[in-house]
A and B are shown apart, each in its own frame.
Chain A
Amino acid sequence: MDLETWELPSYGVTVIIQPSVMTACIALPTPSKSRSLPRQIYLGLIVLAAVLFAPFAAYSSADNEITVAAAISLKKSFIELAKIYETNYATHVNFNFGASGDLALQIIGGAPVDVFASAAQQDMDLIERKGLLRAGSRSNFASNRIVLIAPQGAKTGLSSFGGLSANTIKLLAIGNPKSVPAGRYAMQVLDYYQLYTVVADKLIYAGNVRQVLDYVARGEVDAGLVYASDVATLNAPIDVLATAPAASHAPVIYPIAIINGTQQQRAAARFVSLVLSTEAKQILAKYGFAARD
């Protein structure tokens, strides 16, 4: 077809007048139309999301269970205690393990916790000041000690805290006293032995106790100071050389309490009394915790 003689079928020669053209100077509403392919995609995404949500919803809380927030250092001993508890009372225990400070923040934020076991008094104090503890439910259930550790079979000749001043000891790892409670106690121990000025240049500050253990196990440092409970059942190439005497640092005492507003008063109280029992004392001792003094 030649260009000059060609005519668009739907055009003709006359200009097709649209409705908007007829009325001069009047703004017309926009005719709305859109193809909805992406909308279908979005719908699909939402449906898929809903499907993925569904099966896990079954996990939401049941009646015969309690939630215990506990310091991560208590993990192994508490899991063992929970086994006894579950057999005795047919109640399931959910644990939430973490740093005591984080756990306290979660409880203040309304986390559904029934029992709180802390590694530090100050975090429990915070909760108590907020009025979140069930009155009279707070007790101490365990204590901890600071121990001196070194890489397994190290040939530095180290055997006691006093030996840290020796020239063979180049690096000593402790938790950062600013943020790690174990680091604060370690500093007190070094002060007690009047070692601080001697070892100041050897100190390596770690972000948490786990890191101290890691440094020592890998031989990155010559020695480290951690809790007795950290090394009690640890399967790592570490030697425990000495335990700091009780007088060398402020007592490390673990408190436990029932959180206000729990729907599981009885079950929570039973868990707390189990933790305070003689049976529990043996289990805790196995994991390096001393009796509450």
Chain B
Amino acid sequence: MDESIVFSITLSLRVAIVSTLLILVVGIPTAYFLARRDFRGREILDVVLTLPLVLPPTVTGYYLIVIFGRNGLLGHYLYDWIGLSITFTWYAAVLASFVVALPLMIKTARAAIESVDKNLINASYTLGHSEWHTATQVVLPLARRGIVAGTILSFARALGEFGATLMIAGNLPGKTDTMPIAIYNLASDGDWSRVHLMVLLLTLMSGVFLYAANRYSRRLL
């Protein structure tokens, strides 16, 4: 297999793994607060976080440029203060995968957390345990099925992310061409044999991953 294909596979895996980790760190607390706390703007926050699920990825990508680009709403602070521009870097690919896959985690984890028996939570409180302790010892362990499912879905989505990535991370061969983007490039070259190879690899990777995750989570639950 040639170097560029190996590069794309490595990049895709890295992007998917890092964005999935970020999704775990951000998604689980967010899902918890959406499920357990009643605060002003809760449903609006939910809608905003869910939008990338329904918007065309290119549109999501465009929003990311508007927000995080060098001239973006937040991006220009980054650039002015520390000279960092994430556009056209693999960080941008992580950001795109993160934003697009995050709602899958939040949706499934929120539903799982909401379905945890309220009495168990109350019991933990009456036994003297703080909300943090209750969340980590009772709520999240009981919602783990949903969290595992959310993680699997997020990872698979991140692995296949194309539209938003293309917008903010660009299509820089050897820099930001993840597998889906490499497939797009090969197709535009009419290099069908490589397209078929890559498509097969991506399908295989996703399939093997989903299978392994299913096996593992069944053992876990």
Contacts and interface: CB of A to CB of B under 8 A. Distances in A.
Contacts of A235: 190-192
A76 B189 contact: yes
A8 interface: no
Interface string A44-78: 01101100110010011000000101001101100
Interface in B152-168: 166-168
A110 B172 contact: no
A56 B14 contact: yes
A33 to B, nearest CB: 7
A89 interface: no
Contact of A109 (B24, B69, B185): B69
Contacts of B85: 110, 112
Contacts of B140: 38
Contacts of B192: 235-236
Interface stretch (B46-54, B86-94, B110-118, B196-204): B86-94
Interface residues of B, number: 46
Q: How large is the interface on A (under 10, 10 to 19, 20 to 34, 35 or more residues)?
A: 35 or more
Interface in B43-80: 58, 62, 65-66, 69-72, 75-76, 79
A277 interface: no
Contact of B130 (A34, A48, A72): A34
Interface string B15-37: 00110011011000000000000
A133 to B, nearest CB: 15
Contacts of A191: none
Interface of B: 14, 17-18, 21-22, 24-25, 58, 62, 65-66, 69-72, 75-76, 79, 85, 87-91, 130, 132-133, 136-137, 140, 166-168, 170-175, 185, 187-192
21 contacts: A37-B136, A38-B136, A46-B21, A46-B25, A52-B18, A53-B18, A56-B90, A69-B170, A75-B189, A76-B189, A94-B172, A95-B171, A95-B172, A96-B88, A96-B172, A105-B62, A105-B65, A210-B187, A210-B188, A235-B191, A236-B192
Given A59-B90, A69-B170, A106-B168, 15 more contacts: A45-B25, A52-B18, A52-B21, A56-B14, A72-B188, A94-B172, A97-B173, A98-B170, A109-B62, A110-B72, A110-B76, A110-B79, A235-B190, A235-B192, A236-B192
